[in-house]
DNA sequence: AAGACGAAAGTGGTTGA
DNA sequence: TCAACAACTTTCGTCTT
């Protein structure tokens, strides 16, 4: 088994391998568990003169997380300029000044925005791939003139939120607002505006995105988590999910699953982790019990668990 | 005493006129 | 723009284990 299954930081099993980047990333807390794994891609060595024109390359990959995509030029301030004769030196320094002044408003905006973005991404523990996507969205937003008149912070965080949604990252709107100390109204308005103008469809996050995250935070086994996903699927097919808050539903489903597998947590404990009230959990829980007949399953598990306990003891 | 349950009143967001 | 509305929260009392 070469693949790490659990995140060492948050203990989540929602761990994804990104072959392109050679990284193993936790989708819940964004921790990069391992990087620099072997690149199985094509090798670029040259063996003949013809190869040199096809294969030779230079520079770092193009990225949106640098304001000039990492391809800009700078006139250095190194000692070689000062080593030149006086007239030449003056000329070089003048060039340097004009070169830096000639950067456009757009470039300047991007430069600061990307600093903001990196700050926000590190506070929110956003994986690199999503940070890149956020930067791409911000790029588009600036080029379409959507940033003027809005606070840069709100736009940047809005872009992160949109990117996180598109990647199915389990970060709720409330969480982001709280961690970034941003007004909910402002962020909501801003991200919706950007999504609309750029024609990006932001699908509301579903409860399934949150199950792995909350399950690991509560210390549930994989079995309970699978059970929760299973119950959720059934709840969906009966139409219990429409119009309900995704976090509340995830909480209720986890609660039921915990009863079935015998890993019971109190409603309060779950409510605290999930950030909803016990009442909400109860309401969803009640609905689930009404529409899905789970009675047998709620009684059965205890026996099952006892059997498993015995086998575990025998194995030891 | 802790947990589960539910009623009642209040809050913030969505929808439709 | 405003009122109606559903979902959710807060608060609090009751019941069960």
CA dist A132 and A64 (Å) reads 6
> Which H or E run includes A45?
none
Question: Does the C-beta of A245 come within 7 A of strand C?
Answer: yes
pTM reported for the whole predicted model: 0.71
Nucleotides of C under 7 A from a protein CB: 6-11
For nucleotide B6, the protein residue with its alpha carbon nearest to C1' is A279
Residues A105-197, CATH architecture = Orthogonal Bundle (1.10)
- A114-138 pLDDT, tens digit each: 999 999 999 888 888 899 999 999 9
Nucleotides of B under 7 A from a protein CB: 2-8, 12-14
Residue A30 is predicted with a pLDDT of 63
CA dist A175 and A130 (Å) reads 17
All CATH 1.10.472.10 domain ranges in chain A, comma separated: 105-197, 207-315
Mean pLDDT confidence for A228-239: 86
- The CATH class, in words, for A207-315 is mainly alpha
Residue A304 is predicted with a pLDDT of 43
A282: the nucleotide nearest its CA (via C1') is B5
CA of A252 to C1' of C8 (A): 14
Nearest to A164 by CA among A123, A140, A134, A194: A134
Residue A308 is predicted with a pLDDT of 44
CA of A206 to C1' of B4 (A): 27
Residue A115 is predicted with a pLDDT of 92
């Amino acid at each position: 088994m070469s693949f790490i299954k659990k995140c060492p930081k948050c203990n989540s099993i929602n761990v994804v391998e990104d072959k392109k980047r050679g990284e193993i990333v936790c989708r819940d807390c964004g921790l990069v568990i391992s990087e620099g794994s072997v690149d199985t891609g094509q090798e670029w060595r040259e063996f003949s003169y013809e190869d040199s024109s096809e294969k030779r390359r230079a520079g770092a990959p193009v990225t949106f997380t640098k304001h000039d995509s990492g391809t800009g030029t700078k006139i250095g301030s190194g000692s070689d300029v000062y080593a030149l004769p006086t007239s030449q030196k003056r000329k070089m320094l003048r060039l340097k000044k004009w070169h830096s002044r000639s950067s456009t408003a757009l470039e300047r905006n991007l430069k600061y925005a990307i600093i903001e973005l990196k700050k926000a991404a590190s506070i929110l523990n956003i994986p690199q791939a999503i940070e890149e996507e956020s930067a791409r969205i911000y790029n588009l937003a600036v080029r379409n003139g959507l940033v003027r008149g809005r606070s840069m912070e709100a736009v940047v965080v809005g872009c992160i939120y949109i990117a996180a949604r598109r990647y199915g990252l389990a970060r709720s709107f409330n969480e982001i607002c709280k961690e970034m100390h941003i007004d909910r109204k402002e962020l909501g308005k801003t991200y919706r505006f950007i999504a609309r103008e750029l024609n990006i469809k932001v699908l509301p996050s579903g409860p399934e995105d949150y199950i792995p995250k909350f399950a690991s935070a509560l210390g549930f086994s994989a079995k309970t988590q699978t059970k929760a996903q299973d119950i959720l699927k059934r709840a969906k097919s009966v139409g219990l999910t429409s119009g309900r808050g995704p976090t509340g539903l995830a909480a209720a489903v986890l609660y039921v699953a915990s009863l079935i597998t015998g890993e019971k947590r109190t409603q309060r404990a779950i409510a605290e982790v999930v950030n909803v009230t016990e009442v909400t959990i109860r309401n969803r829980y009640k609905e689930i019990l009404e529409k899905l007949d789970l009675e047998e399953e709620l009684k059965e598990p205890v026996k099952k668990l006892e059997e498993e306990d015995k086998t575990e003891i025998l194995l030891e």
